[in-house]
Structure 1
Amino acid sequence: MAWSWRFIDAGGELMKDEDGADAGSTVEFPTQSDAESWIGEHWRQLSESGVHSVTLYEDGREVYGPMSLEPPE
């Protein structure tokens, strides 16, 4: 099993990387816990680079999301 994130911009569109693939999809994690730990460590940098929300996938199946990366007010 492989876990990955998809990044969504403020307009609700899937973000693409420079190769045209869904941004985030090329970084895979062996477990859900690893994926969630990674997003917990990197959400600020992602948000600052234009990622508005993320959705978690397991082997191409949507698990949950979108989850906002906007800081709490």
Structure 2
Amino acid sequence: MTWHWRYENANGGEVTEGVTPSDAFPSQADAESWLGESWRELLEAGVETVTLLEDGRVEYEKMSLRPE
């Protein structure tokens, strides 16, 4: 099983330009830890929300990168 992030802009479109594609992570915890370290750079690149996928299955979606 592998985990990866899908990046989305404010309109819900997938962001692929200006960001490095998400690595495949061996666990959900590894993917979440990486996001905790990288969310600021993603936000600066135009990513507003992220979706976490496990082998194509959505674990959770449209998580905002903006602080509450």
> Structures share a fold, TM > 0.5?
yes
2:40 pairs with 1:11? no
Q: How does 1:7-46 map to 2 (within 5 A)?
A: 7-17=7-17, 26-46=22-42
Q: Percent identity?
A: 50
**Regions of 4+ moved over 4 Å:** 23-26
State the number of aligned residues: 68
C-alpha contact (below 8 Å) 1:8/1:14 kept by paired residues: yes
- What SS does the corresponding residue of 1:44 show, helix, strand or coil? helix
TM-score (norm 1): 0.82
* Structure 2 portions without partners, runs of 5+: none
TM-score (norm 2): 0.88
Q: CA RMSD in A?
A: 1.8
